[in-house]
C-alpha cells in the first residue's frame, strides 16, 4: 500500500492507535485479523519481512518510527544489502538512511536486469509491531512498477516461515527463496499460530497480487485431531488453488523436527500429519496444487537450532536454495510475469 508517499510492502492496513501518534502496520486488514486465533491476531501485527520502500532524490533520508517492543530494520538499496541496521524500540526515533557513495557514483552503470532497481531504498523489518510516524517528504516517491520484481511470491506458514530464529528478515527461508527467484515476497507466516482458518484461506485466495504461493501446513496444529487437521488443510489447499488455476500453489509437509526423533508415537503423529497433506493435495481437483516434502526442503537437520524445530541461518539458506530449485519449473511455466 502507498502511505505518505512511500510504499509499505507486505502491509495491507495502517491503523491509528490511541497510544501513539504514528500508525500501526498490519499485514492483513483488521476485518481478517480479528477472525483468526488469538496468537495469529498478534503475529499478524509483526512485520515478518515487510518493507518500507521509497526512491529519493537525495542520498540521505530521515525516517521516524517506533515499536511495540523491539523491531529489527535491515537496509537494502535494491538487491544490495547495506551495513546499516537499526534496532527500533518503544521510544520514537528518527533514523538516517544513506545511499553508500559508490552506489551513488556507479548506480547508472549497474546491470539493468536486477529484480530491484538500485535506487530503491528498502527498509526490511522483523520483530514486534512497528509504528510509522513519518518520513521527510521532499524528493521522495514510491517505487514504480518497473523498479520492482515482476514475479510476486506469497508464503503462508508457521514461525519458520515468519522468520523464526533467523538473525535477520533477509535470512528467513522465504526471503532466501524470493531472492533466488527474483521475486517480491509477501510473507504471511504466523509464528506459533498457523491454524489454517477458513477466513484466512479465503483471504489469500481473494488477493490478486501474487503469482505463486507456498503453504507450509502446519506444525502448529499438533494439538488438533487428525480429522480437524485434514479438514482445515484440505479447505486451504482447495480455496487457494481454486481461486485461479493459473497460479501454482506448492503445499509443503512438515519440516524435520524433534518429533521425528522422539518416541514411536511422536514419529507416527508427524508422519500422519504429512500424510494428511499428501492426501489433501492428491484429492484437490485443481491442477495447480503441488506437493513438496518438507524433509526435501530442509534436508539436513544440522541446520536447526538446538530447539530442534526452528532453522538457524544455515538451515534457512539451505531451505531457500532447495525450495527455489523446486519452484523454478513452476515459475518458468508461468511464461511472462
CB-based contact 145:71 (threshold 8 Å): no
Residue 159: per-residue pLDDT: 97
Task: Give tens-digit pLDDT for 245-302.
Answer: 999 999 999 999 999 998 999 999 999 999 999 999 999 999 999 999 999 999 999 9
* pLDDT at 8 exceeding the cut of 70: yes
Task: Give tens-digit pLDDT for 109-140.
Answer: 888 889 999 999 999 999 999 999 999 878 99
* pLDDT at 333 exceeding the cut of 90: no
How many other β-carbons are positioned within 10 Å of the β-carbon of residue 216?
Answer: 27
Q: Look at the block and give the residue holding cell 528518527.
A: 94
Q: Predicted confidence band at 337 (pLDDT cuts at 50, 70, 90)?
A: low
CB-based contact 310:165 (threshold 8 Å): yes
* pLDDT at 313 exceeding the cut of 70: yes
Backbone angles phi, psi at 42, to 5 degrees: -75, -40
CB-based contact 54:142 (threshold 8 Å): yes
List the chain domain ranges.
2-147, 151-332
Residue 336: per-residue pLDDT: 59
Return d(Cα 178, Cα 116) in angstroms, integer: 12
Closest CA to 196 of 42, 40, 20: 40
Strands 183-189 and 93-98, sheet pairing? unpaired
pTM of the entire structure?
0.96
Q: Predicted confidence band at 335 (pLDDT cuts at 50, 70, 90)?
A: low
Handedness of CA 213, 218, 221, 227 (dihedral sign): positive
Closest CA to 191 of 229, 152, 219: 219
Distance (Å) of CA 230 to CA 21, 75, 184, 227, 241: 44, 41, 30, 5, 16
Q: Predicted confidence band at 182 (pLDDT cuts at 50, 70, 90)?
A: very high
| Environment class of 183 (CB within 10 Å of its CB; exposed 0-12, middle 13-18, buried 19+) | buried
DSSP state of 105: H
Task: Give tens-digit pLDDT for 51-66.
Answer: 999 999 999 999 999 9
Q: CATH: 2.70.98.10, 3.40.50.720, 2.60.120.260, 2.60.260.20. Which one for 2-147?
A: 2.60.120.260
Task: Calculate the dihedral angle through the C-alpha atoms of 218, 219, 223, 227, rounding to the nearest 10 degrees.
Answer: 40
Residue 20: per-residue pLDDT: 82
What is the residue-wise DSSP string for 164-230? TT-SSGGGSHHHHHHHHHTEEEEEEE-TT-----HHHHHHHHH--S-SEEEEE--GGGTTS-HHHHH
Architecture per CATH, domain 151-332, reads as 3-Layer(aba) Sandwich (3.40)
Strands 51-56 and 120-127, sheet pairing? antiparallel
Q: How far apart are the first and last CA of the chain?
A: 20
Please give the grid coordinates belonging to residue 213.
504461493
pLDDT above 70 coverage of the chain, percent = 99
* pLDDT at 107 exceeding the cut of 90: no
| Environment class of 114 (CB within 10 Å of its CB; exposed 0-12, middle 13-18, buried 19+) | middle
Distance (Å) of CA 155 to CA 9, 175, 213, 240, 285: 14, 10, 6, 12, 21
Q: Predicted confidence band at 19 (pLDDT cuts at 50, 70, 90)?
A: confident
Task: Give tens-digit pLDDT for 195-248.
Answer: 999 999 999 999 999 999 999 999 999 999 999 999 999 999 999 999 999 999
Q: Look at the block and give the residue holding cell 508464503.
A: 155
Q: HSE of 30 in the Cβ direction (CA atoms, 13 Å)?
A: 7
Amino acid at each position: 500500500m502507498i502511505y505518505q508517499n512511500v510504499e509499505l510492502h507486505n502491509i495491507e492496513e495502517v491503523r491509528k492507535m490511541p497510544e501513539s501518534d504514528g500508525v500501526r502496520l498490519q499485514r492483513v486488514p483488521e476485518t481478517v485479523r480479528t477472525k483468526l486465533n488469538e496468537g495469529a491476531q498478534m503475529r499478524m501485527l509483526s512485520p515478518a519481512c515487510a518493507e518500507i520502500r521509497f526512491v529519493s532524490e537525495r542520498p540521505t533520508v530521515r525516517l521516524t518510527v517506533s515499536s511495540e517492543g523491539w523491531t529489527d530494520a535491515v537496509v537494502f538499496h535494491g538487491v544490495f544489502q547495506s551495513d546499516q541496521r537499526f534496532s527500533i524500540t518503544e521510544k520514537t526515533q528518527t533514523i538516517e538512511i544513506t545511499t553508500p557513495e559508490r552506489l551513488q557514483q556507479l548506480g547508472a552503470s549497474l546491470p539493468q536486469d536486477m529484480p530491484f532497481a538500485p535506487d530503491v531504498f528498502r527498509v526490511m523489518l522483523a520483530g514486534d509491531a512497528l509504528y510509522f510516524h513519518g518520513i521527510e517528504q521532499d524528493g521522495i516517491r514510491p517505487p514504480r512498477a518497473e523498479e520492482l520484481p515482476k514475479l510476486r511470491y506469497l508464503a503462508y506458514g508457521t514461525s519458520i516461515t515468519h522468520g523464526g530464529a533467523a538473525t535477520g528478515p533477509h535470512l528467513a527461508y522465504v526471503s532466501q527463496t524470493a531472492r533466488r527467484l527474483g521475486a517480491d515476497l509477501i510473507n504471511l507466516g504466523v509464528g506459533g499460530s498457523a491454524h489454517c482458518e477458513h477466513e484466512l484461506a479465503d483471504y489469500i485466495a481473494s488477493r490478486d497480487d501474487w503469482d505463486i504461493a507456498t503453504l507450509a501446513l502446519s506444525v502448529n496444529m499438533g494439538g488438533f485431531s487428525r480429522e480437524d487437521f485434514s479438514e482445515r488443510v484440505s479447505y486451504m489447499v482447495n480455496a487457494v488453488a481454486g481461486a485461479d488455476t493459473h497460479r501454482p500453489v506448492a503445499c509443503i509437509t512438515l519440516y524435520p523436527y524433534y518429533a521425528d526423533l522422539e518416541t514411536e508415537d511422536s514419529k507416527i503423529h508427524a508422519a500422519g500429519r504429512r500424510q494428511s497433506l499428501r492426501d489433501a493435495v492428491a484429492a484437490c481437483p485443481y491442477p495447480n496444487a503441488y506437493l513438496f516434502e518438507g524433509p526435501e526442503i530442509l534436508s539436513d537437520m544440522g541446520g536447526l537450532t538446538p530447539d530442534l524445530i526452528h532453522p538457524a541461518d544455515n538451515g534457512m539458506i539451505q531451505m531457500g536454495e532447495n525450495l527455489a530449485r523446486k519452484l523454478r519449473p513452476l515459475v518458468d511455466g508461468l511464461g511472462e510475469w
